[in-house]
Structure 1
């Protein structure tokens, strides 16, 4: 039997603790599956004295994760600290330079330095594995890097952030406002005290950047992603989507076009009949369109200690068996430069919600500006305005009423120019809401 595979684990938070526990509890099964024992020989964390509910008595403790990464007592450095710089970056670079295999769950680090780190791994003949960095427990990296190697991918998209999906699901099911759902997500541990990274779409963007590289064989370019969060979504939008046959999801979408690669993260109306529409709560899902296989959809827990640790351990098991694949699906030197696609028509059209003053000529102004910008409207719906209690049974002429427009395919530039022109005509009360409608099966 081969020598033991010795792990150094940096970061003993929820995922790191779960990883150590699973390795201890399933030591015999892992040994049979990998042909060698997997043991945690060293750890690093900020607090030595914290009771984590796991036995670390046989592990050497390092206060400095870089020293752990360089230690002769480990074969694999497991980075679970997080962050795109500082200790995480320094220790991963040190481990690769010291010819240690690296397993990480750090999407921010890979989104910023992934190509450079992949090049270092190849130069030192070691693996850089990161299944847990994208969609938690879903094996999407291995699927795209290995199982779909015979496919030319045209599009990859998905629900990549459980916090946002949880909030949107609660808003739809219970009619709750965004702020109330966010507060519940924070109380339950689904959202951080500062939730900006999740709710503004940046977490999903980092994951999408990695998937884009795997899908299209290009360099990672997180800075080229259009990013929009869910903070502007209201219960009115949720209700309108339901009436129109859609559900609202925060999607990350990357697709190859004739002019380059398009990457975007934003709230999206998806048909209720689509597979992605049925993914609720904190679950994630990723869909890949390949020329040979068609569409593949993988769904599962996108976060959580055990689910994420499961993916980390899958990467470790690959190293234990001697299985190795190029970090980003092909050699780093063979990755194509990222070419950003030129703006084009959005095939699914747009949902637009306007708060229109109830006065003569308002609708005509809106229709004229849309036509002037070559935007064709599929439908116009004036939603019922709430009646104030001080005048039961009577409406209030001149007050704004919600109006829903659904467009045929058009460019985002045209939509924004038209909405700007409408706003300048003083016929709407609030900032317009615009949500893309995605054509999905």
Structure 2
């Protein structure tokens, strides 16, 4: 069956996604019967589109060379034609599945422009596989209700810690159980910084500088080091796994900028190491969510998650504690999560999951 993809974003993650689809094209046809086609690829400036499918070799070549989408020979700048019709073209044939893969950055407070595109896509019968968290944080309830109303899938594994499987575990592996609490090391930047401070005894400023030099911190890491990125991720996981409908304003957030080498050393004396942890737990009839650096005992599995690694712990009524860790991160893992969501959307419509 043909599966048409509208890829929103041709940056690091978007290009990795294109390369991944090209590399796995024959495998997913053999394993799942999926014939992937890119109906469109769009950026902040314009798009390329073909209802019958773009030449994937051309797109993959551009991705490998890290070219700007505007260099594509069929690039159409916004304004020349209707923007939504370009991003979400009418694809050929009824026997197909359509997926908008969101890999473009959005405004943190409004979720735009991705939020409006996602809404339009859902209303036009496109399923969503989002690697961008902002629209989901801003309008989780609205998007969930729209997806239900229009009979499409809304998946967002890549928005909640890239390669770390969080949403799938909560919805599939823990089906039938009640999640009592969730804890997670969900941000690579803060974990890398705190690991350096613990292992090398250096200051926060020195550790952050090294994280930037090795590609683990953005030029402006404010959302990471202040705990906002972790808060967004634990919020989405909690809403999905615990059935709550919390907002970012409900999350108590403390960053790591105040941590000193003396703090790290004092906890080490007590056989503990500092980790930036997002937590959600049931309290009476409510769910509480908090993000802060916590002193973790050396014997805890979280203490062994170092560098850019991530981890999540679910505490349930049926299965006790389940801990999952992952070391791979960055654009490759994020693209892999989006790729997984696309396959699982197809499998869902085939009645396989």
- When normalised by structure 1's length, the TM-score is 0.69
In the alignment, does 2:287 pair up with 1:261? yes
Counterpart in the other structure of 1:220: 246
Counterpart in the other structure of 1:82: 105
1:7 counterpart (1, 5, 9): 5
In the alignment of these two chains, the number of paired residues is: 323
Superposed CA RMSD: 2.4
After TM superposition, list the pairs within 5 Å mapping 1:204-353 onto structure 2: 204-301=230-327, 303-323=329-349
Judge conservation of contact 2:40–2:89 (CA < 8 Å) in 1. no
Which SS does the other structure have where 2:259 is aligned? coil
In the alignment, does 2:85 pair up with 1:67? yes
Judge conservation of contact 1:69–1:95 (CA < 8 Å) in 2. no
Query: Measured at CA, do residues 6 and 61 of structure 1 come closer, stay the same or move farther in structure 2, by a change above 3 Å?
Result: farther
Judge conservation of contact 1:251–1:268 (CA < 8 Å) in 2. yes
Q: 1:42 and 1:59 mapped to 2: Cα distance?
A: 14
After TM superposition, list the pairs within 5 Å mapping 1:23-422 onto structure 2: 23-46=21-44, 51-53=62-64, 61=75, 63-64=77-78, 66-73=84-91, 75-83=98-106, 84-301=110-327, 303-323=329-349
Which SS does the other structure have where 2:208 is aligned? helix
Judge conservation of contact 1:135–1:301 (CA < 8 Å) in 2. no
Judge conservation of contact 2:162–2:333 (CA < 8 Å) in 1. yes
Q: 2:272 and 2:73 mapped to 1: Cα distance?
A: 52
Counterpart in the other structure of 1:383: none
Counterpart in the other structure of 2:94: none
Which SS does the other structure have where 1:232 is aligned? coil
Alignment deviations for residues 135-170 of structure 1 (CA, whole Å, 9 cap, x no partner):
110121111011101211110011011100000000
5+ residue gaps, structure 2, are 48-60, 92-96
- When normalised by structure 2's length, the TM-score is 0.86
Which SS does the other structure have where 1:52 is aligned? helix
How far did 1:323 drift? 4.6
Q: 1:318 and 1:274 mapped to 2: Cα distance?
A: 33
Which SS does the other structure have where 1:262 is aligned? strand
How far did 1:52 drift? 3.3
Alignment deviations for residues 48-90 of structure 1 (CA, whole Å, 9 cap, x no partner):
7995326989996554563344321381111111224222111
Alignment deviations for residues 293-346 of structure 1 (CA, whole Å, 9 cap, x no partner):
111111114731111111100000012223599xxxxxxxxxxxxxxxxxxxxx
Q: 1:68 and 1:318 mapped to 2: Cα distance?
A: 26
How far did 1:261 drift? 1.3
Structure possessing the higher radius of gyration over alpha carbons? 1
Counterpart in the other structure of 1:402: none
Q: 2:72 and 2:28 mapped to 1: Cα distance?
A: 19
5+ residue gaps, structure 1, are 326-441
Q: 2:322 and 2:36 mapped to 1: Cα distance?
A: 32
Q: 2:161 and 2:295 mapped to 1: Cα distance?
A: 21
Which SS does the other structure have where 1:99 is aligned? coil
